[in-house]
């Protein structure tokens, strides 16, 4: 008699084109990439859970998402606060039985300065948000995915996590850490059929630079002058692509820039300067 070892259960999951009642949790969905990803998945039939600190923004985004017919849950919490994260995910668990996709997106840059002049409060903010916040949320959701025998974690990294740029030190370090954690999660969660994907965007026109430069609109706008940057919707399309591949396919790592940017340090502005 021919005996074959049983295949892991996730190899039997059928690929289906209907996403009705699938559930996605997106951190930092009050603006930028997170909001665009929420909109894209809501349009595709997902139930969407959106998070962020700004409650009033969450309410506005919720209204917009509900027009697409799916269920929308809002959770207002600060990813830096371990207790808040746990309480919010406990609350989520009373409303949904599973989470199919987690997008670890909440993040920010604060300031730009050399290491000898940097603001240590800014450093704390970036490390606590981009690194520890991502870990706290993942620690709550990964066991759920393990129990449900599948899921997909999408980590939003950055080109800043691939190549360090001048005055980017701590922000870059947090995004290098996201890259490392993405690789580690892929290994750790491999036995459970959980996909892990990092999307590393280059410069994209969101509220990112406004936050980094603490409300200085002119300085923020100047970052994107002459480069025709990525838009939040571009990243939402890519997240959707990564999430809608067949079950046996996992994009582990994806770097995307606008046409005029090669990497963190080299864009068309630099190319023009060098030519002169």
Q: Return the active site residues.
A: 171
Neighbours of 205 (CB within 10 A): 18
C-beta of residue 194 within 8 angstroms of C-beta of residue 142:
yes
**Residues that contact ligand NDP, how many (by CB under 6 A):** 31
Q: List the interface residues with ligand 8X3, window 204-223 (CB under 6 A).
A: 208
Q: Is 114 in a helix, a strand, or coil?
A: coil
234 φ/ψ angles, rounded to the nearest 5 degrees: -65, -40
190 φ/ψ angles, rounded to the nearest 5 degrees: -50, -45
Q: From CA 266, how far away is CA 255, in angstroms rounded? A: 15
Q: Does 54 contact ligand NDP by CB under 6 A?
A: yes
- List the one residue out of 109, 89, 95 whose CA is nearest residue 27: 89
Rounded to a whole number of angstroms, the minimum distance from the CB of residue 181 to ligand 8X3 is 16
Residue 261 binding: pick among ligand 8X3, ligand NDP, none (C-beta 5-8 Å cut-off by kind)? none
Report the DSSP beta bridge partners of residue 23: 47
Q: Does 182 contact ligand NDP by CB under 6 A?
A: no
Choice between 10 and 224, CB closer to ligand 8X3 = 224
Which of 92, 126, 142, 160 forms a contact with ligand 8X3 (CB under 6 A)? 160
Which of 207, 234, 237, 253 forms a contact with ligand NDP (CB under 6 A)? 207
Q: List the interface residues with ligand NDP, window 12-41 (CB under 6 A).
A: 27-34
Dihedral of CA atoms 110, 141, 53, 73 in degrees, nearest 10, equals 140
Q: Does 264 contact ligand 8X3 by CB under 6 A?
A: yes
- List the one residue out of 27, 56, 26, 57 whose CA is nearest residue 40: 26
Neighbours of 218 (CB within 10 A): 7
Tokens of 140: 């709550």
Q: Does 203 contact ligand 8X3 by CB under 6 A?
A: yes
C-beta of residue 153 within 8 angstroms of C-beta of residue 193:
no
Specify the stretch interacting with ligand NDP by CB under 6 A; choose among 86-94, 141-149, 203-211, 265-273: 203-211
Q: Largest Cα–Cα distance in the chain?
A: 76
Q: Per-residue x/- marks for ligand NDP, 96-135, CB under 6 A?
A: ---------xxxx--------------------xx--x--
Q: List the interface residues with ligand 8X3, window 44-103 (CB under 6 A).
A: none
Residue 123 binding: pick among ligand 8X3, ligand NDP, none (C-beta 5-8 Å cut-off by kind)? none
Neighbours of 259 (CB within 10 A): 10
Rounded to a whole number of angstroms, the minimum distance from the CB of residue 68 to ligand 8X3 is 28
* Site for ligand NDP, rule CB under 6 A: 27-34, 52-54, 57, 78-80, 105-108, 129-130, 133, 156, 158, 201, 203-204, 206-208, 211
* Site for ligand 8X3, rule CB under 6 A: 158-160, 168, 203, 208, 264
């Amino acid at each position: 008699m021919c005996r074959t070892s049983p295949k892991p259960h996730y190899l039997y999951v059928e690929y289906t084109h209907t996403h009705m009642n699938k559930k996605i949790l997106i951190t930092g969905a009050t603006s930028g990439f997170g909001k665009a990803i929420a909109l894209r998945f809501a349009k595709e039939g997902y139930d969407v859970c959106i998070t962020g600190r700004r409650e009033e923004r969450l309410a506005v985004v919720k209204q917009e998402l509900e027009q697409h017919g799916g269920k929308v849950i809002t959770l207002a919490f600060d990813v830096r606060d371990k207790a808040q994260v746990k309480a919010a995910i406990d609350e989520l668990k009373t409303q949904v039985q599973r989470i199919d996709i987690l997008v670890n997106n909440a993040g920010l840059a604060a300031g730009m300065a050399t290491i000898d002049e940097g603001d240590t409060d800014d450093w704390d903010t970036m490390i606590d948000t981009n690194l520890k916040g991502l870990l706290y949320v993942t620690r709550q959701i990964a066991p759920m995915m393990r129990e449900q025998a599948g899921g997909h974690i999408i980590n939003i990294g950055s080109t800043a996590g691939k190549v360090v740029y001048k005055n980017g030190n701590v922000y870059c370090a947090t995004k290098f850490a996201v890259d490392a954690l993405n690789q580690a999660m892929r290994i750790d969660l491999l036995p459970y059929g959980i996909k892990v994907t990092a999307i590393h965007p280059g410069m994209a026109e969101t509220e990112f630079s406004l936050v980094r430069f603490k409300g200085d609109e002119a300085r923020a706008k100047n970052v994107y002058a002459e480069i025709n940057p990525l838009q939040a919707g571009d990243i939402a399309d890519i997240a959707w692509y990564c999430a809608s591949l067949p079950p046996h396919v996992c994009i582990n790592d994806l770097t995307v820039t606008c046409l005029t940017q090669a990497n963190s340090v080299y864009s068309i502005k630099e190319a023009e300067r060098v030519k002169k």
